[in-house]
A and B are shown apart, each in its own frame.
Chain A
Amino acid sequence: MGRLVLDEPLASELQQVAEADNVSIEIWLRDAIKRARWEARRKKVHSETEWWYSLPISERAAYEGQYVAVVDKQVVDHDSDENTLYVRTRGIFPNKLVLITPADKMREIRVTSFRLVQ
């Protein structure tokens, strides 16, 4: 890959933000790219989730008690075991983001512990 040449004022701005974080420009850019990728994947999962749970209950009922795998607003697989489905769809769609979610309703996680702030 070739070199990337940046014009002013972008080059100075990049140097300033990297210095403020006490890292090199290369590390700052690498971290920024990772965060941008994470944001995009997150958005995609949220949009797939919204699509799945907006489907009529009658349509989702076909997968009752199971997990569904959704890619680009299409159900591509389903299974009663979440991890089995995760491993299988990763093999079929290694470069795609796959939503794996309970078919019936969004999972609820309980956290009953708490911590006192001193």
Chain B
Amino acid sequence: MTYPYELQYVPPLPIIPVQLSLPGDPPRTGLLNAAIDTGADLSIIPVAYLIALEAAPTHQALIKSPFGNPVPVDVYQIDVWIEELAFPGMSVVGNETDEELILGRNLLNKLILLLDGQRGETELFETRPAIRR
């Protein structure tokens, strides 16, 4: 599965289209472009999507970045879908201030990804490809 980088960003941003649902449900959203961000511990979802799903927070947490004090956030459990692949019970942070979806390492570490910046494409593999040397 190959996905083109989002070219509206400078430099271009690797993204994967995802769908969301409550745990155990089939996908309940349309395709939503999510940024690949290995610098984020957890995935981050705008609260508008979580409200539409009627997801309830499971706990509060503190989000820390190098640029400010820790900020309290709500964490939810939802299922994330990439095409027909389901990633059940993913913890996601609800974001009230931004419209971007971010896939953090709690989901990315389950994937085999090739970020081909030269072609501007992200490739998702189901099994590890042979590496050419």
Contacts and interface: CB of A to CB of B under 8 A. Distances in A.
Interface stretch (A8-16, A30-38, A54-62): A30-38
Given A111-B40, A112-B65, A112-B66, A106 B93 contact: no
A104 interface: no
Interface in A93-118: 97-102, 106-115, 118
Interface in B29-70: 37-42, 44, 47, 50-52, 54, 56-67, 70
Nearest to A48: B59
Contact of A111 (B9, B57, B64, B74): B64
B1 interface: no
Interface string A22-50: 00000000010011011001100110010
B70 A118 contact: no
B70 to A, nearest CB: 7
Given A86-B89, A114-B67, A34 B54 contact: yes
Contacts of B52: 31, 34
Contacts of A109: 40-42, 61-64, 73, 75, 93
Interface of A: 31, 34-35, 37-38, 41-42, 45-46, 49, 82-83, 86-87, 90, 97-102, 106-115, 118
A107 B61 contact: yes
Given A90-B23, A111-B41, A114-B67, A41 B56 contact: yes
B21 interface: no
Contacts of B40: 109-113
